[in-house]
Amino acid sequence: MNREELVAAARTAQERAYAPYSHYRVGAALLTATGKVFTGTNIENASYSLTICAERVALFCAVLAGERHFECLAITSSGRGRLSPCGACLQVLAEFAPSLQIIISTATGELEQYSLREMLPYAFSLETESKS
Ligand code: THU
């Protein structure tokens, strides 16, 4: 699975977005260490804060299917700007895949790639908590 194929899977998932409030559609495709792909899209709610992002839908589906090792995440959006994964999703991704690579498809179709550590250098971890 190459980067373009993973981005295409995210774009397909984006079409399933339920975004009647923001009209901002997001797609995510998560590649596991075993080569499987799990996709997600944002699902909004009339009680806005209950909305879930595309990235977490993809991750939670993968974990439910028994996957816990991930290599790469591709994300796409319907916006004109550049989509950056939200901090909440980065924290949730860091739980399972601190070395994850994140591919962002820009509005113009170019691909940008970052590591999760670059995007969230100080993720919360219980292991770093003071023991005093
Ligand atoms: N959204 C995502 O799905 N992923 C992100 O990383 C940022 C935001 C969604 C949530 C909401 O449905 C819409 O984008 C606007 O915030």
State pLDDT tens for residues 26-38: 999 999 999 999 9
pLDDT bucket at 129, cuts 50 / 70 / 90: low
Q: Which atom of ligand 1 is nearest to the CA of 89?
A: 6
Mutate to test the pocket of ligand 1, among 26, 89, 91, 104 (most ligand atoms within 8 A of CB): 26
User: Which sequence spans correspond to the domains of the chain?
Assistant: 3-130
| Rounded average pLDDT over 98-126 | 95
pLDDT digits (tens, 9 = 90+) for 55-109: 999 999 999 999 999 999 999 999 998 899 999 999 999 999 999 999 999 888 8
Alpha carbon nearest to ligand 1 atom 2, residue: 53
pLDDT of residue 108: 87
Long-range contacts of 92-100 (CB under 8 A, 24+ apart): 92/55, 92/56, 92/59, 93/55, 93/59, 94/120, 94/123, 94/125, 96/59, 96/63, 96/68, 96/69, 96/70, 97/69, 97/70, 97/71, 98/123, 100/70, 100/71, 100/72, 100/73
Lowest mean per-residue pLDDT among 30-39, 51-60, 120-129 = 120-129
Q: Whose CA is nearest to atom 4 of ligand 1?
A: 53
Superfamily classification of domain 3-130 = Cytidine Deaminase, domain 2 (3.40.140.10)
Question: Is 55 a residue of the active site?
Answer: yes
How much is the average pLDDT of 13-26? Answer: 98
